[in-house]
Structure 1
Amino acid sequence: MTAVDNSAQPSNGRTLNFPVPDAALPEGSTQALWTHSLIQAKRLLINWARDPSTAIQALLYPALTLIMFRVVLGNSISAATGQPSIYGTVPLIILVGAMFGSIASAVGLRGEMTSGLLSRFWTLPAHRASGLVGRMIAEAVRVLLTTIVIIGVGCLAGFRFNQGPVAAIGMVLLPIAFGIGFAVMVTALATVSENLPLVEIVSIGCTLLMFFNSGFVPTMAYPVWLQPVIAAQPMSVAVEAMRGMSLGGPVLEPVLKTFAWSFGMIAVFLYPAIRGYRRAASR
């Protein structure tokens, strides 16, 4: 039997010894899915950290928006409602950061599709679902970091956790469920059609949701015919849940409604996201 030479001779004359690949995982195993998904998530997080546009959309833009709302509208909203406006603005900006960060991520995904990077990953001996699962793990980490940054900025403006540590942990974790549901939707839109004006369509929807919800101004401030829509839209129920976990108020019902919206987006868009991602990677 002929021995396998695991050495290579680079141009500078040095010899490189590569380890024998004796720890390969079965391609379709659960362990491979977990390990390969973490590798993909790490890759994305490093890319996002090095990409100024993603960092701006995920961190800087939400932080500046929070400061702007606090300076321009904070006192007026507090005087009109009798409650500190910061308890509605902080949850609102956390959700805005989660959504606009997903848009920037989807733009990067389209770049990977165009460059052929997804196709090259598809040829590797890796679990087929690791690319999409890793992307969702990275989205969850991004939303968590955005939440921590916005809460930190909010604390400088007067935001406090008044309902104890358990409620505080719940407020930090709830946006992750919302962010993953939104990320699945945006991923599906990004992969279904390359000609779809993704940024324009989703940005318009996000802007409408941002200005027509109970975090911007109370539901009662809107016209009577619009109030049921405002109260039921996904950002409003998430804002009310996080407001209850920080300032006080109803928690169970808005949390259940937030989960219903989040898991509903996942249920509707997961299959299109899987199919679109698979088609984009395998062609």
Structure 2
Amino acid sequence: MSVTSESRAGAAAATRALGPTVRRDSWEGSPGRLLRHSWILATRILRRWSRDPATVLESLIMPVALLVTLNTVLGKGISEATGHSALYSSVPLIAMVGAMSGSMVGGIGLMRERANGLLSRLWVVPVHRASGLLARLIADAVRILVTTIIILCAALVLGFRFRQSVLESVIWVITPVAFGLAFSAIVITLALYSAKTLVVEATEIVWGSLMFFSTGFVPLDQYPRWLQPVVEHQPVSCAVDAMRGLALGGPVLAPMTEMLLWSAGIGALCAIPMAIGYRRASMRG
């Protein structure tokens, strides 16, 4: 045996003595590992949110308080103008607001994890590369779904009722998740490229504008004529109109399709910048 062969054999024996090695290519493209790792990381995020009073206040308590306030102040007038309970507009509106407003907490949390080095530490452990980002979207989807159910429970106490089938009711509950995830993608992208939380906090202006200039706040004909096309076709109005139809009866397909197109378009625009930004943030030493 040559000296070179003996050296290679000795190196191999030393490597085996240190224990098994992990090859990234053995699991990097595995969908099963991606889902498992994403869910583990998502539960970590959800557990942290559940223990944070500010997150609970922003995501759960504030939307319910806003619903009660909106119904108390505007409920009677809207009911008289439309001929049906204002809850069929205000409840979908607050569900959409809850889906959007809670994403700000997740964005700020992401910035903190980038600053304290947690993202870079997670990047070097043997988990799927895409699991960190996917976990945040899964956690947001769970947050939005829980928020919507809590808002619905409060609405049922106020008198809201489903007048359609069980299928329409289920679709109603999951509708805010679609645009809520698209809005979360915007917030995550901003958080990955921003040095200060002010940029993420400024998204309140966006969802506040979408709330006040929507058909869920007041009927469409109450807005100035020149503004009505904008109000009618913005994503929150589309979601509110679709959810009203799912609960009360009326057009669903057209507003739902328009809302899904908004969501898909926003998601497509954010996908690449979000993936690149997360990789760069994770590789910072």
Aligned residues: 269
Aligned residues: CA RMSD: 2.0
- 1:237 matched to 2:221? The reply is no
Greater alpha carbon shift after TM alignment, 177-186 vs 223-232: 177-186
Tell me by how many angstroms 1:72 deviates. 1.4
Relative distance call for 1:115 and 1:81 in structure 2 (3 A) is same
Tell me by how many angstroms 1:201 deviates. 2.2
Relative distance call for 1:27 and 1:154 in structure 2 (3 A) is same
Residue in structure 2 matched with residue 282 of structure 1 by the alignment: 283
Residue in structure 2 matched with residue 199 of structure 1 by the alignment: 200
* TM-score between both structures, scaled by the size of structure 1: 0.90
* Pair member with larger Rg: 2
CA contact (8 A) 2:241 2:255 kept: yes
Residue in structure 2 matched with residue 256 of structure 1 by the alignment: 257
Amino acid at match of 2:105: A
Distance 1:124 1:28 in 2: 16
Instruction: Show structure 1 runs of 4+ deviating over 6 A.
Output: 1-6
In the TM superposition, what whole-angstrom CA distance separates every residue of 1:111-133 from its partner, at most 9, and x where no partner exists? 11111111110110111100001
Amino acid at match of 2:93: L
CA contact (8 A) 1:241 1:252 kept: yes
- 1:148 matched to 2:149? The reply is yes
Percentage of matched positions with identical amino acids: 46
* TM-score between both structures, scaled by the size of structure 2: 0.90
Structure 2 gaps, min length 5: 1-12
**Greater share of residues in helix:** 2
What does residue range 150-189 of structure 1 map to in structure 2 within 5 Å? 150-189=151-190
Greater alpha carbon shift after TM alignment, 243-252 vs 24-33: 24-33
In the TM superposition, what whole-angstrom CA distance separates every residue of 1:111-170 from its partner, at most 9, and x where no partner exists? 111111111101101111000011111111111101100011001111111011010011
Residue in structure 2 matched with residue 13 of structure 1 by the alignment: none
CA contact (8 A) 2:140 2:181 kept: yes
Structure 1 gaps, min length 5: 7-19
CA contact (8 A) 2:191 2:200 kept: no
Distance 1:29 1:40 in 2: 16
What does residue range 44-123 of structure 1 map to in structure 2 within 5 Å? 44-123=45-124
Tell me by how many angstroms 1:80 deviates. 2.2
Q: Secondary structure at the match of 1:83?
A: coil
Tell me by how many angstroms 1:21 deviates. 10
Amino acid at match of 1:117: L
Q: Secondary structure at the match of 1:250?
A: coil
Amino acid at match of 1:86: L
CA contact (8 A) 2:108 2:197 kept: no
Tell me by how many angstroms 1:31 deviates. 1.7
CA contact (8 A) 2:190 2:200 kept: no
Tell me by how many angstroms 1:28 deviates. 3.4
In the TM superposition, what whole-angstrom CA distance separates every residue of 1:170-190 from its partner, at most 9, and x where no partner exists? 101111111111111111111
Tell me by how many angstroms 1:4 deviates. 7.3
